[in-house]
């Protein structure tokens, strides 16, 4: 058992107070300047905080800034979001991925517009798509409620402070709850997240710039990057599918998808290749459904979404069906990749009979 005789113990009240003071002092001078942080601690606009937290669940801050600005311009208030058609919401979310977030945000906005903003952690948890992390973030940042957040950055910082190789969710939450500064809970939560995002990074942490390295057991060992141990990743599921482009990259036949695979978005008519099927059989079935003929292979594209990788064979086809504006529709990145295949064609796809 390793003994850390020279490292302050975060489990001791006096050491916790010193750690809090050091981290909050650093945050007050070095915290990130982000648009949703406008306003006094505990009195921020709950709508802006909420949108940012939902958006950043699966999106890096650098990219999220652009998406956040675009979304807030489209829907500057919760009332504007609640009154918007779902298609407009998904279009404003386009490129962010994980579109269930946008659909839940839209559903929850309708509740908030009718009933008012929740003012407690439990109230936020009751909204669609709001989990423990988001509820704790909004409750602490917008209302000053003493709730500790638990995300990837917090997990990494706490795992290194305590030299915990395999921190469970329950363990991380327990440590976060213990360390939380009840006087400045919002600032404390943001300080932990900023430290993990800018200093205590997954690879090559900048320990020399860390305000709490003197409290860190992983730093005392001389191997902070060893904590936490890498998670075992689930195997990526391979999905084969076929799509047809009827029209062109500007106006095309589009369908609203259902189910877990890109559900809610518009996209090219597409079907998944099932067990025992071939792509040719699926193409034939797809064309029969659309009464389409004269297909030409445009090419193949692929896109990875967390634990699934879709490989899509794309065909141009002809059919007497109404087309829609591609620019005005919310499409997945996979569909944009498929449409790009059309723009690469140097000659006419179909010659007159």
Domain edge (last residue) among 192, 226, 260: 226
Percentages helix, strand, coil for the chain (3-state, rounded to 5) are 45, 15, 40
Name the nearest CA neighbour of 148 among 128, 116, 170: 170
Q: Is 53 a catalytic residue?
A: yes
Cα separation, 74 vs 66, whole angstroms = 13
Q: Which residues of the chain have pLDDT under 70?
A: 1-14, 346-348, 350-353
Task: Tell me what pLDDT residue 125 has.
Answer: 97
Cα separation, 36 vs 19, whole angstroms = 26
For residue 8, tell me if it sits in a domain.
Answer: no
Same domain, 208 and 302: no
Cα separation, 321 vs 332, whole angstroms = 22
Same domain, 222 and 241: no
Residue 252 backbone dihedrals phi, psi, to 5 degrees: -150, 160
pLDDT digits (tens, 9 = 90+) for 176-230: 999 999 999 999 999 999 999 999 999 999 999 999 999 999 999 999 999 999 9
For residue 86, tell me if it sits in a domain.
Answer: yes
Same domain, 128 and 57: yes
Where in the sequence is the domain holding 289, given as residue range(s)? 237-343
Query: One of 11, 41, 53, 86 is an active-site residue; which one?
Result: 53
Cα separation, 77 vs 106, whole angstroms = 12
Cα separation, 286 vs 291, whole angstroms = 8
Which residue, chain included where needed, has tokens 């290749």?
Answer: 273
Domain edge (last residue) among 164, 194, 226: 226
For residue 213, tell me if it sits in a domain.
Answer: yes
Same domain, 54 and 182: yes
Task: Tell me what pLDDT residue 8 has.
Answer: 54
Length of the chain: 353
For residue 4, tell me if it sits in a domain.
Answer: no
Any idea what DSSP says for residue 238? Answer: E
Same domain, 331 and 183: no
The reported pTM is 0.81
Task: Tell me what pLDDT residue 60 has.
Answer: 83
Cβ neighbours of residue 3 closer than 8 Å, sequence gap 6 or more: none
Task: Tell me what pLDDT residue 347 has.
Answer: 64
Cβ neighbours of residue 74 closer than 8 Å, sequence gap 6 or more: 80, 84, 88, 92
Domain edge (last residue) among 226, 250, 275: 226
Structure tokens belonging to residue 344: 């690469």
User: Residue 338 belongs to a domain with what CATH number?
Assistant: 3.90.79.10
Which residues face 318 on adjacent strands? 293
Task: Tell me what pLDDT residue 13 has.
Answer: 56
- Name the domain count of the chain: 2
pLDDT digits (tens, 9 = 90+) for 274-311: 999 999 999 999 999 999 988 999 999 999 887 889 99
């Amino acid at each position: 058992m390793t003994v850390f005789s020279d490292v302050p113990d975060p489990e001791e009240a006096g050491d916790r107070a010193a750690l809090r003071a050091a981290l909050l002092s650093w945050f007050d001078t070095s915290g990130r300047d982000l648009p949703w942080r406008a306003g006094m601690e505990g009195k921020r606009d709950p709508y802006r905080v909420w949108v940012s937290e939902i958006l950043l669940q699966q999106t890096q801050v650098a990219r999220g800034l652009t998406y956040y600005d675009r979304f807030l311009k489209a829907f500057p208030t919760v009332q504007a979001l609640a009154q918007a058609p779902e298609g407009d919401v998904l279009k404003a979310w386009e490129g962010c991925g994980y579109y269930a977030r946008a659909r839940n945000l839209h559903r929850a906005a309708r509740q908030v517009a009718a009933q008012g903003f929740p003012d407690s952690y439990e109230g936020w948890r009751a909204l669609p798509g709001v989990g423990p992390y988001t509820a704790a973030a909004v409750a602490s940042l917008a209302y000053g409620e003493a709730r500790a957040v638990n995300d990837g950055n917090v997990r990494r910082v706490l795992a290194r402070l305590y030299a915990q190789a395999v921190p469970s969710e329950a363990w991380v939450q327990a440590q976060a709850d213990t360390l939380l500064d009840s006087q400045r809970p919002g600032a404390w939560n943001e300080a932990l997240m900023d430290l993990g995002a800018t200093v205590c990074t997954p690879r090559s942490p900048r320990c020399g710039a860390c305000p709490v390295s003197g409290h860190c057991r992983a730093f005392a060992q001389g191997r902070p990057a060893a904590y936490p141990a890498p998670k075992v990743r689930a195997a990526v599921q391979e999905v084969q599918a076929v799509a047809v482009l009827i029209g062109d990259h500007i106006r095309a036949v589009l369908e609203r998808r259902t189910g877990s695979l890109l559900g809610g978005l518009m996209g090219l008519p597409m079907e998944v290749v099932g067990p025992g099927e071939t792509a040719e059989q699926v193409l034939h079935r797809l064309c029969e459904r659309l009464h389409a003929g004269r297909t030409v292979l445009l090419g193949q594209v692929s896109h990875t979404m967390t634990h699934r990788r879709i490989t899509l064979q794309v065909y141009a086809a002809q059919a007497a069906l109404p087309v829609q504006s591609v620019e005005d529709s919310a499409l997945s990145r996979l569909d944009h990749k498929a449409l790009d295949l059309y723009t690469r064609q140097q000659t006419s796809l179909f010659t007159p009979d």
